């Protein structure tokens, strides 16, 4: 038997590194195309960012986080120990290049470029995610009820009008609401909100963890093999197959490798010489299983930078952005601070049995994910860095990656999402 024939019998078409929502969506799309797939993850049953998100299908979030003026606000927030942004100063030397690039992305021209690139992904989300949800059996907890952004002050509402007008250019459907309309829409809210914006196309799911579990089960049913282990490097020395090398030294071979390990992806990309600015934007939340209030849709509290989502498993109050790296222990005082805000603006909410959580959002400074082939190794494909939009963009990322695997021209240009943009 020739070496090539032996590889064809024992080597899968694709090795997906990462068992979160994005990695599993890539595996699902590849399997539906007829590829053989192996999925590698350090702990398939363990907690992950995909389990604890707010559940939003946030197709209206087509502008980057770094807007004009935010950098100075962010500096002020850093001095509020329980404000919406926190930085562990021990992490500053590692995070400084990220923050410098974050500041540069706030200029008007780059802001628009990023926004159009995000919109190209978000405007096709339902075309990609609905078939995946149907196939894995979670349509019973997929709620297309819109979302509500609310404002306490006239000043904050007026300050955001330019961005709302631009979002309309990007394809976002929204309408302004009066204080009375806000109260009628969500009666459980405290009567302090003067303005609202209703987002027609936002949706949410009832339980993010359930989606991950059912997607993983479906990927297994479709024939994927699962290998548990932590990938430390890629080995491209074999001309016929690439290897994901585990911490034990064991190589997991595949003709193509997809790197979809969220906030840990930069370390793997670096082993083939690809540089990326990626950090963990640590998010916190508290889930209240016995909340005792009525809430129909996700509510975004504009000035306070947090959200409340009515999940099937309870109301989840989440938000915050903490930069402390991948190894620092959670600071659950941030969950407590979010809960305090939730109790203030959702009076009467019951916090009995509250469950606190922290997760690592994989954030790039320009808010764009990294999707596409490695410029150094065409058989390595990246799918990470989705920040707050991992669930939202998961199926779309999977579909684009499947196009690359099958030699099809992707439906949108992948140039804006290439890891090459971090070379300069």
Full-model pTM? 0.94
Distance (Å) of CA 346 to CA 152, 181, 234, 306, 354: 14, 17, 49, 13, 15
pLDDT at 47: 81
Backbone CA torsion sign across 209, 215, 220, 225: negative
pLDDT at 9: 45
pLDDT at 156: 95
Beta carbons of 197 and 179 less than 8 angstroms apart: no
pLDDT at 100: 87
Identify which of 125, 121, 117, 124 has the alpha carbon closest to the alpha carbon of residue 64.
117
pLDDT at 2: 31
Q: Which of these CATH numbers, 3.90.1720.10, 3.50.50.60, 3.40.50.300, 3.40.50.720, describes 3-49+210-277+368-422? A: 3.50.50.60
- Angle of helix 208-221 versus helix 125-136 axis, rounded to 10: 70
pLDDT at 238: 81
User: Cβ neighbours of residue 199 under 8 Å, at least 6 residues apart?
Assistant: 60, 146, 147, 148, 149, 172, 173, 174
In DSSP terms, 199 is beta-bridged to 147, 174
User: Cβ neighbours of residue 99 under 8 Å, at least 6 residues apart?
Assistant: 365
Neighbours of 348 (CB within 10 A): 10
Q: Give the DSSP H/E element, type plus range, for residue 360.
A: strand 355-363
Q: Please report, in tens digits, the pLDDT of each residue of the chain (424 residues total).
A: 333 333 344 899 999 999 999 999 999 999 999 999 999 999 998 888 889 899 999 999 999 986 545 555 666 656 666 677 788 889 989 999 998 898 888 788 999 999 999 999 999 999 999 999 999 999 999 999 999 999 999 999 999 999 999 999 999 999 999 999 999 999 999 999 999 999 999 999 999 999 999 999 999 999 999 999 999 999 998 877 899 999 999 999 999 999 999 999 999 999 999 999 999 999 999 999 999 999 999 999 999 999 999 999 999 999 988 999 999 999 999 999 999 999 999 999 999 999 999 999 999 999 999 999 999 999 999 999 999 999 999 999 999 999 999 999 999 999 999 999 998 5
Identify which of 106, 58, 120, 70 has the alpha carbon closest to the alpha carbon of residue 366.
106
Instruction: Locate the domains of the chain by residue range.
Output: 3-49+210-277+368-422, 67-104+279-294+308-363, 147-200
pLDDT at 82: 62
Q: Rounded distance, CA 367 to CA 364, Å?
A: 5
Q: Rounded distance, CA 16 to CA 185, Å?
A: 43
pLDDT at 6: 34
Q: Rounded distance, CA 60 to CA 159, Å?
A: 18
Question: What is the three-class DSSP state of 346?
Answer: coil
pLDDT in tens, 20-60: 999 999 999 999 999 999 999 999 988 888 898 999 999 99
């Amino acid at each position: 038997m020739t070496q090539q024939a032996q590889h064809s019998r024992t080597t899968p078409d694709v090795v997906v590194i990462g068992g979160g929502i994005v990695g599993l969506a890539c595996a699902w799309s590849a399997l539906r195309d007829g590829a053989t797939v192996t999925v590698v993850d350090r702990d398939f049953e363990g907690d992950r960012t995909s389990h604890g998100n707010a559940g939003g299908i946030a197709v209206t979030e087509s502008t980057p986080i770094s807007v004009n003026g935010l950098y100075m606000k962010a500096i002020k927030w850093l001095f509020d120990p329980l404000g919406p942004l926190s930085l562990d100063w021990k992490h500053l030397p590692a995070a400084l290049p990220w923050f410098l690039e974050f500041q540069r992305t706030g200029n008007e021209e780059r802001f628009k470029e990023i926004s159009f690139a995000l919109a190209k992904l978000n405007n096709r989300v339902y075309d990609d995610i609905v078939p995946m949800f149907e196939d894995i059996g979670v349509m019973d907890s997929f709620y297309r009820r819109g979302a509500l952004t609310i404002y306490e002050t006239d000043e904050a509402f007026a300050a955001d009008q330019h961005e709302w007008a631009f979002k309309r250019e990007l394809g976002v459907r929204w309408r302004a609401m009066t204080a009375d309309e806000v109260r009628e829409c969500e009666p459980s809210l405290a009567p302090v909100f003067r303005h609202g914006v209703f987002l027609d196309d936002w949706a949410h799911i009832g339980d993010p963890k359930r989606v991950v579990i059912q997607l993983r089960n479906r990927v297994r049913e479709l024939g994927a093999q699962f290998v548990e282990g932590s990938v430390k490097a890629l080995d491209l020395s074999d001309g016929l197959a690439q290897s994901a090398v585990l911490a034990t030294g064991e190589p997991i071979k595949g003709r193509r490798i997809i790197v979809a390990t969220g906030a840990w992806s930069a370390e793997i990309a670096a082993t083939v010489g690809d540089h990326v600015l990626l950090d963990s934007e640590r998010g916190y939340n508290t889930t209240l299983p016995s909340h005792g209030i009525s809430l129909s849709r996700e509510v975004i509290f504009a000035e306070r930078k947090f959200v409340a989502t009515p999940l099937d498993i309870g109301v989840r109050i989440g938000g915050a952005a903490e930069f402390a790296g991948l190894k620092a222990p959670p600071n659950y005082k941030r969950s407590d601070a979010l809960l305090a805000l939730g109790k203030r603006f959702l009076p009467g909410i019951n916090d009995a049995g509250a469950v606190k959580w922290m997760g690592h959002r994989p954030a790039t400074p320009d808010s764009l994910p990294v999707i596409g082939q490695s410029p150094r190794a065409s058989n390595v494909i990246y799918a990470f860095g989705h920040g707050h939009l991992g669930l939202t963009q998961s199926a779309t990322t999977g579909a684009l990656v499947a196009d690359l695997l099958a030699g099809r021209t992707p439906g949108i240009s992948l140039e804006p999402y290439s890891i090459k943009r971090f070379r300069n």
